[in-house]
């Protein structure tokens, strides 16, 4: 892996990989210090009529409030959206299979990417950086940090949600993670030895 991190957020008509459709995809690439590289991309996708007809009411209300629903008629195709995202990612990540997929609850996004944008999904490393995992651990171990985390402003639009996720990780890095440069090698070895499971008989 290299130091690049590929942040992707998707908006869908629901969470079912069987019935629901991608309607927006956005991407930002950062370096390991969470500095954004380039302008990113944010693309609205026109879904099949059937996916719109079966959209759960709560999702319809969410996408109406965000303004996304009104933009769908002018959306592009899945193939064109994938091509645009891949072009941006390749501009900043030169080798396939090197940069992890990053975001919030990003396993759901990866499922839709694997279904609808296989070339893009395959360009990413198999590992993910899920900010929601950090958040769940902070809630249990560092509740003061969790309850004072930055407010979200994304309003269920893909690019704004990514920016929120990057801000969250910046916050948790500073509020929760061990300050730089971290433990020295001897201290790290001591911790590992203390926590290592005993060898199997």
What is the predicted pLDDT for the residue at 163? Answer: 95
Neighbours of 181 (CB within 10 A): 6
5-177 maps to CATH 3.30.420.10 = yes
What are residue 24's phi and psi, to 5 degrees? -155, 140
What average pLDDT does range 40-62 have in this prediction?
Answer: 95
Per-residue pLDDT of 61-115, as tens digits, reads 999 999 999 999 999 999 999 999 999 999 999 999 999 999 999 999 999 999 9
Mean residue pLDDT across the chain:
94
Domain ranges of the chain: 5-177
pTM of the model: 0.92
The rounded distance, in Å, linking the Cα atoms of 114 and 122 is 8
Mean pLDDT comparison of 32-46, 140-154, 170-184, highest-scoring range: 32-46
Confirm if 45 and 25 have CB atoms less than 8 A apart: yes
Catalytic residue among 88, 123, 126, 172: 126
- What pLDDT, on a 0 to 100 scale, did the predictor assign at position 152? 85
Neighbours of 41 (CB within 10 A): 19
* Integer-rounded Cα radius of gyration of the chain: 19
Task: Establish whether 126 is a catalytic residue.
Answer: yes
Position 13 confidence tier, pLDDT thresholds 50, 70, 90 = very high
**What's the rounded Cα separation, in Å, for the pair 103 and 192?**
28
Question: 4-13, 114-123, 148-157 — which is least confidently predicted?
Answer: 148-157
Give 137-163 as a DSSP string: HHHHH-HHHHHTSPPP--TT-HHHHHH
Compare 155 and 122 and report the one with higher pLDDT: 122
Residue 127 CA, distance from chain mean position: 12
**pLDDT confidence of residue 180:** 87
Q: What percent of the chain has pLDDT over 70?
A: 97
């Amino acid at each position: 892996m290299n130091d690049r991190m590929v942040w992707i957020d998707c908006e869908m008509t629901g969470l079912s990989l069987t019935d629901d459709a991608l309607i927006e995809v956005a991407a930002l690439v950062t370096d390991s210090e969470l500095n954004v590289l380039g302008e990113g991309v944010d693309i609205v996708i026109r879904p099949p009529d059937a996916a719109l007809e079966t959209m759960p009411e709560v999702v319809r209300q969410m996408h109406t409030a965000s303004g996304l629903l009104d933009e769908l008629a002018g959306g592009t195709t899945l193939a064109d959206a994938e091509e645009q995202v891949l072009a941006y990612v390749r501009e900043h990540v030169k080798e396939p299979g090197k940069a992890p997929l990053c975001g919030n609850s990003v396993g759901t996004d990866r499922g839709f990417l694997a279904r609808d944008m296989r070339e893009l999904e395959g360009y990413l490393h198999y590992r993910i950086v899920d900010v929601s995992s950090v958040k769940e651990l902070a809630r249990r171990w560092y509740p003061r940090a969790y309850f004072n985390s930055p407010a979200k402003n994304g309003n269920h639009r893909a690019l704004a949600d990514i920016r929120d996720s990057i801000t969250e990780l910046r916050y948790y890095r500073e509020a929760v993670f061990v300050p730089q440069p971290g433990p020295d090698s001897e201290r790290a070895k001591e911790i590992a030895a203390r926590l290592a499971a005993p060898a199997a008989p």
